[in-house]
Chains A and B, each alone.
Chain A
Amino acid sequence: GSPGELNPPIPSLLSPTVTSEQIEHLHRRFKQLSQDQLTIRKENFDSIPDLEFNPIRGKIVHAFFDKRNLRQASDGLADEINFEDFLTIMSYFRPIEMNMDEEQLDRFRKEKLKFLFHMYDSDHDGKITLQEYRNVVEELLSGNPHLEKESARSIADGAMMEAASICVGQMGPDQVYEGITFEDFLKMWQGIDIETKMHVRFLNMETIAHCY
């Protein structure tokens, strides 16, 4: 596009930590993916070779269109997203800054974890049930013909039980663990340093030689 083209208004949650050059880069990438259209659809993600390798490719692409991630009031899936929505999703992966205080860090962490939670919770009911968890495991293991469905199941079941023990403690024989709620999810991730692992860092531009 022409240099100096103006982007749509930047969502306020991005402003302190993302520079305009980074946004320009993302905008260029957006245009590349959308083939110069104003919106992206699911099919546009097919053109990325590196993404093909990824076992949870489907969930990642889905996350872009998930209205909960797009901070829209309604629920369900959007058909297409524009650049502002694209930035909104990318903002979940921004790295933390040095000057953040405790409260900001906490909010940051919650946002990232919420994003991950939505990835698991495919029916949007606010809980990750055993079946949903199994789905994720199966997707991660998909494509391996040697792996039996049973092994995938047992892995999922084992992990779910562990999750239950963390969240609920010892359960009585009649108790049924319905599913992992977001609060339980938060508990499970305590101790894992998500802020440093769930980010995409931009390399910062050194300004071109100043001529005065």
Chain B
Amino acid sequence: QWATIRIERGVKKPQRQMLKTPAANGIIERDETPMEEEIARLNSDDFQFSDVLYFCRKGFEAIVEDEVTQRFSSEELLSWNLLTRTNVNFHYISLRLTIVWVIGVVVRYCFLLPLRITLATIGIMSMIVGTTLVGQLPNSSVKNYLSEVVHLTCSRILVRALSGTICYHNKENRPKKGGICVANHTSPIDAIILTTDGCYAMVGQVHGGLMGVIQRAMVKACPHVWFERSEIKDRHLVTERLREHVADKSKLPILIFPEGTCINNTSVMMFKKGSFEIGGTIYPVAIKYDPQFGDAFWNSSKYNIVSYLLRIMTSWAIVCNVWYLPPMVREKDEDAVQFANRVKSAIAHRGGLTELPWDGGLKRAKVKDTFREEQQKNYSRMLVRNGSIG
């Protein structure tokens, strides 16, 4: 699935061998031996010039390609799926292929796109109208039932509008009321995909425009948690409100994306610990898109939401797998960060994604100094140990 490029190892070996790197998805081969081992190998006794070699090479590898930045651009595919946007090296291969491609473009833009836009409009309209109507009713079980029906139906229409094919696994682990559902984040569509199979209380910022209308309508039918922009900054307020919501067992489970930003679905980045401090049961969900049919990743620095939606609607389809994982609770001697990492591993493992300890916020910000010092301390500790022997 990855666009990895295979290499022939030729160094001082008489015959050529094919090297396959497991789960590699980059352009260079990396040596993953830990620092201690590598340096021990390079020099048997004291600090010598060769230590520099190790860091030099690591530095160059980072310059050619670093693990983090590549997560913020779309995945490359091994075989072309007739969408020029996913094939960076589009060269003219043959007339037949180009004709097939042109037909593909015509089908996607002139046939699929209008259909999808119509469906999407119908979906959104019925969502707004439906939730407003249901909102008029007094609070009762009938209202809850109807609101569920409205939400589910409209989500299904919207998913059809994107030609989405979703496969749910382990439905017995579906999130229950009063819990918190966490998932990895690839695009704004994630929320729609999850609500097709169950109702959740969304958490998010209040927007203006069409989004705002939808949000206000949804809140009438069942309680979601929308924050004003100013309230988001106040972490205590946010935690308090979420805690209130969770404590009320009759309310729907909250849906949270702890990465905080869209990642390109090849890896799971650091989960922010805020969501894990609220308490309650966590229901992890892993979402993995199949890149063959369309790229669901939203590169928010490159495309705005409208062009993103346009790209989605002119892809072949959105195919994804959703795995519901068994619920997890924070253990007594675990702190929020460890718990967050545990949940993250479970999700990455299930979805077949690699795990990265990095913060999704690195898309826009720089590395925290504390991380850097940690690494430097490791190296110098090792060195002093070696140095003191010699």
Interface residues of A (CB under 8 A from B): 3-4, 21, 24-26, 28-29, 32-33, 45-57, 60, 90, 93, 95-98, 116, 119-120, 136-137, 140-144, 146-147, 151, 154-155, 158-159, 162, 188-189, 192, 194-206, 208-212
Contact of B383 among A21, A33, A140 (CB under 8 A): A140
Q: Does B88 contact A (CB under 8 A)?
A: yes
Segment from B21-29, B121-129, B286-294 that makes contact with A: B21-29
Give residues of chain B (1-44) contacting chain A, Cβ–Cβ below 8 Å. Answer: 4-8, 10-12, 16, 19, 21, 24, 26-29, 42
Supposing A52-B372, A158-B387, A203-B4 touch, asked if A198 and B88 sit within 8 A by C-beta, the answer is no
Residue B381, interface by CB 8 Å = yes
- Distance in Å: Cβ of A22 to nearest Cβ of chain B: 8
Choose among B26, B47, B62, B91 the residue that contacts A159 (Cβ–Cβ < 8 A): B47
27 contacts between A and B (CB under 8 A): A29-B63, A49-B366, A49-B367, A50-B66, A53-B371, A55-B379, A98-B16, A141-B376, A141-B384, A142-B376, A143-B376, A155-B47, A158-B387, A188-B49, A189-B49, A194-B53, A202-B5, A202-B29, A203-B4, A203-B5, A203-B6, A203-B29, A204-B7, A205-B6, A208-B80, A209-B79, A211-B93
Q: Which of A28, A93, A196, A203 has the most CB of B within 10 A?
A: A203
Q: A51, B62: Cβ atoms under 8 Å?
A: yes
Q: Distance (Å) between the CB of A59 and the closest chain B CB?
A: 8
Chain B min CB distance to A3 (Å): 5
Place the interface of chain B in its size category.
Answer: 35 or more
Q: Which residues of B are found within 8 Å of A33, using beta-carbon distances?
A: 63
Question: Do the beta carbons of B68 and A200 come within 8 Å of each other?
Answer: no
With A143-B377, A202-B28 as contacts: A51 and B63 at CB distance below 8 Å = yes
Q: Output the residue of A25, A49, A140, A192 with the most chain B CB within 10 A.
A: A49
Chain A residue, CB-CB nearest to B381: A144
- Residues of B close to A46: CB separation below 8 A: 366
The answer to whether B59 touches A137, judged by C-beta atoms less than 8 angstroms apart, is: no
CA distance A137 to B387 in the complex (A): 12
Quick check: B91 and A197 within 8 Å, CB to CB?
no
Q: How far is the CA of A51 from the CA of B11 in the complex (A)?
A: 27
Q: Of B5, B87, B371, B379, which is within 8 A of A205 by CB?
A: B5
Q: Is B62 touching A21 in the complex (CB atoms < 8 A)? A: no
**Residue B197 at the chain A interface, CB threshold 8 Å:** no
Known: A49-B362, A158-B47. 12 other contacts (CB 8 A): A29-B65, A53-B372, A53-B376, A55-B376, A56-B52, A96-B10, A98-B11, A155-B46, A203-B5, A203-B29, A209-B79, A211-B97
Does A159 contact B60, Cβ atoms closer than 8 Å? no
Residues B50 and A151 in contact, CB atoms below 8 Å apart: no
**Nearest neighbor of B90 in chain A, beta-carbon distance:** A3
Task: Tell whether B48 is near chain A: CB-to-CB under 8 Å.
Answer: yes
Interface residues of B in 351-388 (CB under 8 A from A): 358, 362, 366-367, 371-373, 375-377, 379-381, 383-384, 387
Contact present for B29 and A197 (CB under 8 Å): no
**Residue of A26, A28, A211 with most partner-chain B CB within 10 A:** A211
